[in-house]
A and B are shown apart, each in its own frame.
Chain A
Amino acid sequence: MILEFERPIKELEERIAGLHRLAGPSVELQTEISRLEEALAAAKKRIYSNLSPYQRVQVARHAGRPNFRSYRDALADDFYELSGDRAYGDDPAVRGGFARLRHGGQNVVLIGHDKGGDVNSRVKGNFGMAHPEGYRKVKRLYELAGRFGLPIVALVDTPGAFAGRGGEERGQAWAISEDLMALARAPVPVLSVIIGEGGSGGALAMCVADYVGMLENSYLSVIAPEACASIIFRDPARAPEAAEAMKLTARDLKEHKVIDEILPEPLGGAHNEPEAAIECVGDALGRVLAEFADMNSGTLVKTRYERYRRIGAHVSERP
């Protein structure tokens, strides 16, 4: 998958590859290759370091971006998956279980939206858009984490909770609100990392946390930019403007003190060098878990209360 703004880069890469194929030790050819390689490096730097908010949204949605499975496989020495909401079914759009993290060796409850790897698993996981049974499974896992004193680590990557008939019939809103309440009182450290898309309530159900990290090109938003544009500007094509206006990038959210940390991605985005992005998330988790290790449950819950109680933009009382 090639994003529109990546096209100049891809074109340069193709021309360089083409020249390599011509081979031959011609000096002229070598000079041309070096010239193009310099141009490529400059184009990458220029394009990737000036991504607009909407371009970042596109990077966050990139099909080649490392997803929950990549992180799980690379970061957990052991992942003991648990399934089902004990009421209706198991939702593969969100997965979770006990995990032993490679960074620091700590046991945690690891949860994440699963966008899937290939076409089949993408469809099966409904592209990471969970149904109520998914959010109810998550609640079960939050409670298990509390019972066994295991920190909760949630990897957020969803366009949003699924908007469909079945979800409504089974109480989508009810399921999400229960997750928010369960996180609010979780007596263990809660760490969330937004690894891709942070779509609205379906993302928030997994990031009312003591630590929220965001990969550089991930986003967190109350509504998809396309939907915002069609509601407010009555034109979905104005999504880039909506993305700009909504301040949904990691940098914006750090500035507005909604998140704790921006986790840098390799130049061009995590899909260009997945191992580096995954390693960066692993390092952050290991470091933050160690910081929370000695905090008692009362302090955790109280600090979390104050953190979320504070977030708002109301202007203080008029006389």
Chain B
Amino acid sequence: MDAVFTKCEKCGQPVYEKDLKARFNVCPNCEFHYSLAAQERVRLLIDAGTFEERDKGLDAGDPLGFEGYAKRLESARAKTGLDDAVLNGIGEIGGRRVAFAAMDFRFIGGSMGSVVGEKIARTIEVAYSDELPLIIVSASGGARMFEGVYSLMQMAKTSVALSRYMDGSWPYVSVLTDPTFGGVTASFATAADVVIAEPGARIGFAGARVIEDTTKERLPEGFQTAEFQREHGMADRIVHRLALKGDLERLLGFVA
């Protein structure tokens, strides 16, 4: 099994799957950051043995009876082992208790429907009531169209919760990973005290293809990457995935 290897989509070099997994899906050759499952994100950032998942068992309804949605949900649950596109709970980072949520792109493109909105809002609320730092790792294509306006309203839901939390003096750190777009960037993912992005992550409001289709404009190399966003003043830091835990520990040392 150890000899199973795959070709890096970015640099084209053969990479042992075991090495890739040990490096949390970062290519050992070119350092390209692949998507990371929410469970692995917990393993990466939260002190071993301290994570308690919360709000487990929330299921997306199919409020509009949208063609094909129930099936998509079923297969996404089976594929990811998650209720929906976010995993949340309380755990410790460097011995400090935090409220934590990580999104998972594998679950219908990390799209935000009612369950994502509800779990994010509950994470913010527990951070508020227990006076904990709040850390949310985003990965999302945007709204979940199958839930129509309910999806849109999750932007409002997470924003009212966040607005109240941020009246207090506990920090909210948002970590943006590849890709984060649409309703997630236009609500809780950007309204943070500190915005950290993973190298190369594509982050924005509208996707590059949509922009090219509507404006017929050719977009420059590196458009909407984490580096682009930092250059334009939209992100504080770019942090390599394998350095992220240490970086958060340092940050929490100043503000928590």
Listed in ascending order, the chain A residues whose CB lies under 8 Å from chain B are: 161, 163-165, 167-174, 176-178, 180-181, 183-185, 200-201, 204, 208, 220-223, 227-228, 231-232, 245-248, 252-253, 256, 258, 304-305, 308-309, 311-319
Contact = CB atoms under 8 A, between A and B. Distances in A.
Interface of B: 55-64, 66-68, 113-115, 117-118, 121, 143, 145-157, 159-164, 166-167, 181-183, 185-191, 204-206, 210-211, 214-215, 217, 219, 223-224, 232-234
B160 A222 contact: no
Q: What secondary structure prevails in chain A residues at the interface with B? A: helix
Contacts of A253: 149
B69 to A, nearest CB: 10
A319 B149 contact: no
B153 A312 contact: yes
A221 B147 CA distance: 10
10 contacts: A177-B190, A180-B187, A232-B145, A247-B149, A305-B160, A309-B157, A311-B150, A312-B150, A313-B61, A317-B58
A119 to B, nearest CB: 19
Contacts of B219: 165
B180 to A, nearest CB: 9
Given A180-B186, A248-B148, 9 more contacts: A163-B205, A167-B206, A177-B188, A181-B166, A201-B152, A313-B61, A314-B59, A317-B55, A319-B57
The 5 closest A-B pairs by CB, nearest first: A163-B206, A313-B63, A173-B185, A184-B163, A180-B159
A3 to B, nearest CB: 23
A314 B58 CA distance: 7
B231 to A, nearest CB: 9
Nearest to A172: B205
B149 A184 contact: no
A172 B167 CA distance: 23
B84 to A, nearest CB: 8
Contacts of A170: 232
A208 B56 CA distance: 28
A319 B114 CA distance: 19
Interface centre among A170, A201, A223, A247 (most CB of B within 10 A): A201
Nearest to A135: B186
